[in-house]
């Protein structure tokens, strides 16, 4: 079980990209609330089936999408759900 960032690094390992080319990952549908003492915790997601995020690229981009389950994340009973991706050119 790799973290998403480790998955990204493994994916680019045989390309001309390096670790410096990877920015922070974005988690659109994961719920990680801040606790009263300033820590982070995992909680079940707040999005429903059919929710979506629409993004527009203003320049050429390389996008890596990962639905990586984590051993410490109990969301969806440790069962990641499918993601549908639509790309318009």
Pure H helices in the chain: 4-12
What is the per-residue pLDDT for 78? 73
In the chain, the N- to C-terminal Cα span, in Å, equals 33
Q: Are 69 and 4 in contact (CB under 8 A)?
A: no
Residue 84 has pLDDT above 80, yes or no: yes
Q: Are 68 and 76 in contact (CB under 8 A)?
A: no
The ranges assigned to domains in the chain are 1-89
What is the per-residue pLDDT for 51? 83
Residue 1 has pLDDT above 70, yes or no: no
Confidence (pTM): 0.56
Q: Is the dihedral of CA 47, 51, 57, 58 positive or negative?
A: negative
**Which has the closest alpha carbon to 12: 62, 85, 86, 87?**
62
Q: Are 65 and 53 in contact (CB under 8 A)?
A: no
pLDDT-based confidence at 59, cuts 50/70/90? very high
Chain segment 29-47, per-residue pLDDT in tens: 778 889 999 998 878 777 7
């Amino acid at each position: 079980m790799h973290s998403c960032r480790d998955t990204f690094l493994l994916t680019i390992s045989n390309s001309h990209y390096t670790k410096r080319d990877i920015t922070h990952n974005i988690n659109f549908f994961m719920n990680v609330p801040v606790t009263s003492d300033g820590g982070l915790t995992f909680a079940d997601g707040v999005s429903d089936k059919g929710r979506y995020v629409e993004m527009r690229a203003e320049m050429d981009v390389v996008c890596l999408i990962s639905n990586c389950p984590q051993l410490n994340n109990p969301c969806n009973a440790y069962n990641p759900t499918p993601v549908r991706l639509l790309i318009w050119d």
